[in-house]
Structure 1
């Protein structure tokens, strides 16, 4: 059995991409909207947003039952 090691592609990380998208959306976006734009799983987006919120780069605002994320 042969293993192929996959190397990371150069470019922005998911966290950096989320920050760039949120710069253009001052009203904020939901996890689902970010997931669609980035073509990444919701679980990955949630993990990245938790990190960004804890680093105080992003804030979460709850409207009814939906969280909207925007830059601080």
Structure 2
């Protein structure tokens, strides 16, 4: 699906760093999702739906684990 240079890695790779290389083809920020050129759909909560139907769970840090610097 990709036509940009350099081409992005396959959407089969679940690491976020590889999904970040894909370009946005269709943006729907009002609905909280973006279609990437590799066919993946990424959501504002950092989760994703891959073209083969697999789900990548959101990877936000729970608020209880956040620390505030004094």
Please, what TM-score do these two structures have when normalized by structure 2?
0.29
Pick 1 or 2: higher relative contact order, CA cutoff 8 A, min separation 6.
1
Please, what TM-score do these two structures have when normalized by structure 1?
0.28
